Structure 1
Amino acid sequence: MISSFYIILSIILLIKFSLNIVKLRNQYQVTYGDGGFSKLQIAITVYNSAVEYIPSALILLIILEMNGAETWIIHLCGSILIVERLLYFYYLHYIGNNQKSFTINTIYISLILIVISNIYYIPWNQFFNLH
């Protein structure tokens, strides 16, 4: 399964984002929450956003593969998802919140691409089969 590659990459990203939070909480000696530290707030935002969007995108990617989509489409959708999450991390950590709208729009682009691809590859003949 091609989608398993993107599942693994996504889990690695989630681990990385989680470790960033742990590192910053240790650095700022914060047990719960963000302690008012902006770097920690950004790290938590990146992690929460990934946890919010990655699972549904991966489920759609698995379904896309199960529906028989071409390999290049699965790679395109999976790559866009991973690159988008990396861009979100990069922009918030190194550029700041002024580019946040760009990265928020990219997650919608990747989700919409996966949804449209799924709609195209749904086995419609089985869907409307009355027998």
Structure 2
Amino acid sequence: MVAVGLGSRRGVEVAAVVSLVQRALARVASEAPVALFAPVEKYGEPAFAQAALELGLPLVHLPKAALQAASDRTVTHSERVVQLFGVPSVAETCALAGAGDGSRIIVPRMTADGVTCAIAIGGTPAEGTRS
């Protein structure tokens, strides 16, 4: 499983999400299935749902507990993000939690136009809310 973790400011553009995900995936050489993962708090973010449709990828929303459980495996750590969201990197924890136990970051957090993404691989995929 190639898990693309997403984070963003509110109201980001679909094109920004699609572009950043495509740039991140271009760095990955894997034939494994790919899915997008975001915090459950972003369930109503239309840019994520539309980007998933345009990319032809499933989008799974993960609960905060799953993100917190992956916090000790991130490579990026932002004190501001910890204060706001309780995890060191939203995108990286989404990727790690999405890829499951034993996963690791293969593309650290990237950011552009208010969107963040990171990619993790390996492990047993997590359960979440599909949209």
TM-score scaled to structure 1, two decimals?
0.27
Structure with higher Rg: it is: 1
Higher relative contact order (CA 8 A, sep 6+): 2
Normalized per residue, the structure richer in strand is: 2
TM-score by length of 2: 0.27
